[in-house]
Structure 1
Amino acid sequence: MGRPDHVVFLRRSFSKMDQLATPFLTGPRLCRVLAGVVPRGTDGVVVELGAGPGVLAEPIRSRLGPNARYLAVEIDSELVAHLRAHKPWLEVVQGDVADLERILDEAGIDRVDAFVSTLPWAVFPHALRDKVMDVIARRLTPNGAMSMIITWMALPNRVRELRTLLDRHFDEVVETATEWRNPPPARTFLCRRPLPRATSLDEHGTRSAS
């Protein structure tokens, strides 16, 4: 029998494929890469978007200092219940990432040191993707960072659009190599130092304020 995390996620993925996108959990190696944007020993604020059954919880927790705050946002009620039952130390909020601004306000969080996300960004509607990314960039500290996962199933044109969006909001965007052992194969975008305003790229690749 699979671990409880895998069992509950597999069951929910087939009933909520529009939210979860894949029936597979992120593998250990990619979990470590995603969690790596959290400064080791930080006493700052970390927000995880789309916490699922909590496969990233321990890799993130291992990097936190004693006074850090770690908030996990998850939309699915059964997964939220699973997190609260199996990881009682984790601060969990049930909510839609479309309401991220309100979620952070109600949690009393003004600035975030790191966002970590396993949400299916490449399939988000453009308006939702733009809205949430704007909130993330504005809430991050000047030296803050964000990580996200992109599976090989994502359409190439949607990935290119997402990359352009990230380049508008961050000073540095690093795309990692595909981890072929991950089910499904996937890579990550590691985004650092949010720009003070969203920018656009001209035909020469030079940023300009939008």
Structure 2
Amino acid sequence: MSAAPAGPRRPVPAGSGIFLREFLRDPVATASCVPSSRALATAALTALPLEGDPLVVELGPGTGAFTDVLAERLGGRGRHLAVELNPRLARLLERRHPGLDVAVAPAADLPALLAERGLGPVDVVVSGLPWAAHPPTSPSLVDVVAGTLTDDGAFAQFGYVWTRRAAPARRLRRHLDAAFHDVVTSPPVLANVPPAFVYTARRPRRG
């Protein structure tokens, strides 16, 4: 009896090998052992303007799963700054995307990084940072990000479905509600491994 044909396989995201190594080095900071999927990147970039020259910031781009889709959609428009704390992942990102402005720095340094480059305010910030990068500090990282955005700017932060009810995720949602007028939660992105969702917060509160 012949074997049944194998079903379609999910594509292996680029950079999976180095991502796994960095996860083993520091699982708290990396949060996942595989890069995000194209499906998750698409869900996280719903706020990206389709026209004009937007200023876009990526926080924690890792091996560049979101960077790839951003580059396609921008098509040379606007300005794209990637902020990556891990120098090994930053070097990989620079090799994969020559000419991309990659800053090796913590996300909390975003206002200073923008000032150094004479940039701002930002149209869209997309974050792949783990919940651990959002400690209960004041001001929160959400406040820092909101302060860099235009009045109608947006902040997209993804997380994994199984962590959504955990205390860090609930705290982040409270920070988003306090810092933005509109916060929308995407449907689960089941094509991602593990399944994920996206918070998209728009229109930062002022004062």
Q: Does 1:127 align with 2:137?
A: yes
1:204 matched residue in structure 2: none
Question: Please, which of 75, 92, 104 is the counterpart of residue 94 of structure 1?
Answer: 104
CA shift at 1:182, angstroms?
A: 1.5
Whether the 8 Å contact between 2:156 and 2:199 is mirrored in structure 1 is: yes
2:178 matched residue in structure 1: 168
CA shift at 1:70, angstroms?
A: 0.3
CA shift at 1:3, angstroms?
A: 5.9
Whether the 8 Å contact between 2:140 and 2:175 is mirrored in structure 1 is: no
**Whole-Å separation in 2 of the counterparts to 1:125 and 1:182:** 25
Can you give the 5+ residue segments of structure 1 that lack an aligned partner in the other structure? 198-210
**Whole-Å separation in 1 of the counterparts to 2:116 and 2:36:** 29
**Whole-Å separation in 2 of the counterparts to 1:65 and 1:79:** 23
RMSD: 1.8
Deviations 1:77-112 (A, max 9, x none): 111110111110321111111322222222222310
CA shift at 1:4, angstroms?
A: 4.8
Whether the 8 Å contact between 2:134 and 2:140 is mirrored in structure 1 is: no
Whether the 8 Å contact between 1:145 and 1:190 is mirrored in structure 2 is: yes
1:10 matched residue in structure 2: 20
| Stretch moving more, 112-121 or 17-26 | 17-26
1:202 matched residue in structure 2: none
**Whole-Å separation in 1 of the counterparts to 2:189 and 2:130:** 17
Give the length in aligned residue pairs.
Answer: 195
2:85 matched residue in structure 1: 75
Q: Does 1:194 align with 2:171?
A: no
Q: Does 1:64 align with 2:111?
A: no
Q: Does 1:138 align with 2:147?
A: yes
Provide closer, same or farther for how the CA distance between residues 86 and 171 of structure 1 changes in structure 2, counting only shifts above 3 A. Answer: same
Q: Does 1:112 align with 2:136?
A: no
Whether the 8 Å contact between 2:134 and 2:141 is mirrored in structure 1 is: no
Can you give the 5+ residue segments of structure 2 that lack an aligned partner in the other structure? 1-11
Q: Does 1:43 align with 2:64?
A: no
Question: Please, which of 24, 32, 37 is the counterpart of residue 22 of structure 1?
Answer: 32
**Whole-Å separation in 1 of the counterparts to 2:166 and 2:56:** 30
**Whole-Å separation in 1 of the counterparts to 2:106 and 2:74:** 25
Amino acid in structure 2 at the alignment position of 1:88: P
CA shift at 1:18, angstroms?
A: 2.3
- TM-score calculated relative to the size of structure 2: 0.86
- TM-score calculated relative to the size of structure 1: 0.85
Question: Please, which of 46, 52, 65 is the counterpart of residue 62 of structure 2?
Answer: 52
